[in-house]
A and B are shown apart, each in its own frame.
Chain A
Amino acid sequence: MHLRRLHWLRLKVILACIAGVLFTAPVSAQVLHIGNTGEPQTLDPHRYNLRLEETLLNDLFLGLTTFDARGQLVPGAAASWQVSNDGLVWTFTLREGLQWSDGTPLTAEDFVYSFRRLQDPNTAASLAYFMYMLNNAPAINRGALPLEALGVRAPTPTTLELTLSQPYPYLLERLLYPTAFPVPRHIIAEHGDDWVKPQHWVSNGAYVLTDWQPQGYVNMASNPHFYAEVGISQVRYYPVVNEQSAYNRYRSGELHAIGAFPIGELDNARENYADALQVSDLLSMMYLVFNTERAPFDDVRVRQALSLVIDQAILTDKVLRSGAKPAYSFAPALLAGYDAVELPHQSQTSAQRLAAAGELLQAAGFNRSNPLKLVLKHVNGVENKKINLAITGMWRQLGVQASLQQAELRNHFAELRQANFDVAWAGWVGENNPEHYLTLLQSDIGNVNYGRFNSPAFDEILRDAQTMASLTERNQRLRQAEALVVNDYAVIPLYTSAVRRLVSPQLSGWYPNLRDVHQVRYLRFEP
């Protein structure tokens, strides 16, 4: 009798355990589940290339400067800095007592090693040019100079000195990118390229990598050696490429935050998830680019006529309806400290513009019997097709016969780089710096100047601006350059993108911002 009861008890315990494992294992209040827009290609900050990787790297590493919860620049691993009068030498003082996640002290030498590694031709860093302002960087990357020639040194363990080849007042902004993050040289020396594996992982950010299932998830845990307290100890990022799938997984409660969902669900989300919906501007520029080497788009009258009849507000408010804002300048109006130059025809009514455009096309030799024919290329996708259809509709008022040709993203940009197009859709997500946009039209920038725009006057002003150390003077000069571009109608600015997110009201500390960065260390679960 006694024995049998014992057996029964044991069985009950086992059953309870099984039930416990089955029903409670997947749900844990402590872990933050975030849907990222895709699978990271690498977590090596010097080899990264994608915005969705920046999201993870911002949690794993800490650069000299960093973002606060609202996307503003604040001191990171550097506590303070000063710049020489000529703008060429920047001296950073590191925070006291910095450590790697394995407890090893982090010194200025680690930064020296990291900046050199980025330029090392063997690293093959695709974004090495982000730090080309460092003295001798391009030559080192070409293999023409040794790594030691780079303009970076550590006079003391807590002092880092960066020497530039030309003044670059946006340096602090540029240091926000993972290309300027420190990597653990003691671990790389031991494990080589395998240092990025979870079992060897060491970093200096608020979190460390604990597991990575390719295409499954990336797991991170808080770094006990990080200088500040964090509110969430575990976070799991899932690659969710499909926007509909992201939306479903948010709605079924599997994810606390998602990076994007279909535009078509926006009204539905406004109604049902008002407390979770975040629509915010992204510092970016979507534009049409003319192939200025190909007739008749080498004729400014044709470019101007095509630009005059585009109504950006209709595109954003009636066609796209995603919260995107119309753009009338090539450098986004959202830039801080810069007053972007608007298209000269903004003050005219649409009737005036249509009439003027008709005359311009006539003068360029096009009329009803000899209409302008062109192909507008764009990236595939329903939304892109809608926008570009609307644009061809606007051109049709002028008798222009435009046909659409769509391609998958990679093919599209490959064609653009080869300047194989008449008119094409392009986009740029940049930093808080007008130069980042304007240099896209510099004649010697390379193939990202898709339209091969070539204006010696513009190049001259830009080169001159790049010698200026004062931010206000430099921006002033850049405005003059932008005015030239705008009058030359090299591009048609269309709109700045908007980010659509759903963030669970359970989370606090998630603030919409222009750069769309949300480091987990600032987040808390609401009690």
Chain B
Amino acid sequence: MRQYVIKRLLFAAITFFVIVTVVFFLLRLAPGGPFDGERRMPPEIEANLKAAYDLDAPLVVQYGKFLMRLVQGDLGPSFKQKDFSVNDLIAAGLPVSATLGAAALVMALVIGMSIGIAAGLRPGSAFDGMLMTVSNINLAVPTIVAAPLMVLIFSVSLAWFPAGGADTAWHFVLPSIALAIPLSADIARIMRGGMAEVSLEPHVKTAHSKGLPLPRIIYRHMLPIASTPLISYLGPAVAVLLTGTVVAEQVFDLPGIGRYYVQAALNRDYTLVMGVTIVYAFAILTLNLLVDIAYGIIDPRIRVASRA
């Protein structure tokens, strides 16, 4: 098991390094620099700005400096949000995005698992068909469609929720639902498949014949097995959530790092784009690593395979 974990860790570290390097150089290949605006810029002023942000050094030197700082946990000054460092900005934005992501994940799990369990108990029944239709509709409504519609209905027309901002918990309700909807559909499908499969297992049939109450059978005998595939889905789910928060934060004006990402990329704010990339890459790689390890614990075949 230890060997397996070390191997996964090593892979994660290499992937992280490759992502960071590729993004660093790709950014600088994009046309237009951080100080290009519509306004005039005399050459001496451009020189002053480049010197202030180390942009006058050769690319390799810039890359070296960037790596040195990264090792020390310093992401540098933001080129565009001049009054903040990238660390400041991420410290302000990450809690917003994390709250949104976590709320959406919980909501997606609750909705998705309920639908999946209910549908998976009687696969092929009319009830199953109805639930899965609802779920398919959810899948077909991406955040970018759901979010503006929800604002129109619940903020503008009904005035139940605010249309934007992040001042209170109230502000997070609509965006996390908008994010959770497409995700819940995937979860429902996986859950339904797991439940349908496990209901044919002998131990479940035995439990039924012994006259155990249904909730107890579901909870004790079916869920632990049926929800295993969900664990492997958590990795991709977090990736879906991260890209989703970028959209939701734009539509709902939430000050999270997803919004920084879009603005920073448009503004060629090199350091901020790098900073957010690092946070995203780190989040996805860590979760995938945890999933891999959890899988190793649950499924002995993986442990054996890695030892061989």
Contact = CB atoms under 8 A, between A and B. Distances in A.
B156 A248 contact: yes
A74 to B, nearest CB: 26
A7 B247 CA distance: 49
Contacts, number: 152
A252 B31 contact: no
A41 B266 CA distance: 13
A129 B163 contact: no
Given A25-B168, A124-B49, A216-B166, A242 B253 contact: yes
26 contacts: A39-B81, A44-B82, A44-B83, A49-B37, A121-B44, A128-B45, A197-B83, A212-B83, A216-B92, A238-B165, A240-B253, A245-B164, A245-B251, A245-B253, A248-B156, A252-B155, A252-B163, A254-B162, A254-B163, A410-B32, A414-B31, A414-B36, A415-B31, A417-B36, A445-B40, A446-B42
A249 B164 contact: yes
A447 B41 CA distance: 8
Interface of B: 30-33, 35-45, 48-49, 51-52, 80-84, 88-89, 92-93, 148, 151-152, 155-156, 159, 162-168, 170, 250-253, 255-256, 259-260, 263, 266-268
Contact of B36 (A44, A241, A245, A410): A410
B253 to A, nearest CB: 6
B81 A214 contact: yes
Given A141-B44, A446-B42, A214 B166 contact: no
Given A129-B40, A254-B162, A254-B164, A411 B251 contact: no
Nearest to B257: A215
Contact of B168 (A26, A216, A239): A26
A271 interface: no
Contact of A141 (B45, B89, B162, B263): B45
Nearest to B155: A252
A254 B84 CA distance: 27
A41 B32 CA distance: 18
Nearest first, the 6 A-B pairs at minimum CB distance are: A414-B32, A215-B255, A216-B255, A42-B82, A124-B52, A448-B40
B36 A47 contact: no
A343 B40 CA distance: 26
Contacts of A47: 82
Nearest to B167: A26
A75 interface: no
Contact of B32 (A26, A212, A214, A413): A413
B99 to A, nearest CB: 13
Nearest to A141: B44
A213 to B, nearest CB: 6
Interface in A17-59: 25-26, 39, 41-44, 47, 49-50
A47 B166 CA distance: 28
A125 B45 contact: yes
Nearest to A132: B42
Nearest to B91: A214
A419 B170 CA distance: 50
A393 interface: no
A265 B299 CA distance: 57
Contacts of A249: 162-165, 253
Contacts of A197: 83
A239 B159 CA distance: 21
Contacts of B38: 409, 413, 427-428
A430 to B, nearest CB: 10
Q: Counting chain B CB atoms within 10 Å of each CB, which of A238, A245, A445 scores highest?
A: A245
A177 to B, nearest CB: 11
B61 to A, nearest CB: 19
Contacts of B92: 213-216
Contacts of A410: 32, 36, 266-268
Main secondary structure on chain B at its contact with chain A? loop
Interface string A94-137: 00000000000000000000000000011111111100000000
A259 to B, nearest CB: 14
Given A126-B41, A252-B159, A253-B159, A42 B36 contact: no
B84 to A, nearest CB: 6
B45 A214 contact: no
A143 B40 CA distance: 20
B267 A244 contact: no
A248 B159 CA distance: 11
Contacts of A368: none
A142 interface: yes
Contacts of B166: 216
Given A239-B253, A415-B31, 15 more contacts: A39-B81, A41-B83, A42-B82, A126-B49, A138-B42, A141-B42, A212-B83, A215-B255, A238-B253, A242-B253, A249-B162, A254-B162, A413-B38, A427-B38, A447-B40
Contacts of A25: 168
Contacts of B251: 242, 245
Interface in A173-216: 196-197, 212-216
B39 A49 contact: yes
A321 interface: no
B48 A121 contact: yes
Contact of A413 (B37, B84, B151): B37
Contacts of A526: none
A251 interface: yes
Contact of A196 (B83, B168, B267): B83
A325 to B, nearest CB: 21
Nearest to A416: B38
A448 B267 CA distance: 19
Contacts of B83: 41-44, 196-197, 212
A27 to B, nearest CB: 11
Given A238-B165, A254-B164, A446-B42, A215 B49 contact: no
Looking at B31, B163, B251, the one whose CB has the most chain A CB atoms below 10 A away is B163
Contacts of A217: 165
B74 to A, nearest CB: 16
Given A213-B255, A242-B250, A446-B40, A129 B165 contact: no
B100 to A, nearest CB: 13
A414 B33 contact: yes
A43 B84 CA distance: 11
A450 B48 CA distance: 23
Contacts of B162: 26, 249, 252, 254
Most chain A beta-carbon contacts within 10 A, residue among B82, B88, B152: B82
Q: Choose among A128, A254, A409, A446 the residue with the greatest number of B CB atoms under 10 Å from its CB.
A: A254
Interface in A386-442: 408-411, 413-415, 417, 427-428
B263 A241 contact: yes
Contact of B89 (A122, A214, A427): A214
Contacts of B42: 129, 138, 141, 446
Contacts of B88: 214
Nearest to A209: B83
